[in-house]
Amino acid sequence: MSLVKMVSLHPQVGGNVNETLVEASRHAMLCSLFCTSCADACVVEEMDMAACIRSCLDCADVCATTARLGVRRSDQNVETLRAMLEMCILACERCAAECEKHEAEHCQLCAKMCRECADGCKQALATVGNA
Run means of pLDDT, 10 residues per run, the chain, 131 residues: 74 78 95 98 96 98 96 85 97 98 97 98 91 43
Evaluate whether the domain defined by 19-125 bears CATH number 1.20.1270.360: yes
Cβ-based neighbours of 21, under 8 Å, separated by 6 or more: 70, 124, 127, 128
Whole-prediction pTM value?
0.92
Looking at residue 131, its pLDDT comes to: 43
User: Residue ranges of the domains in the chain?
Assistant: 19-125
Looking at residue 9, its pLDDT comes to: 67
Looking at residue 130, its pLDDT comes to: 57
Q: What are phi and psi of 9, to 5 degrees?
A: -80, -10
d(CA 129, CA 81): 10
Looking at residue 103, its pLDDT comes to: 95
d(CA 85, CA 70): 9
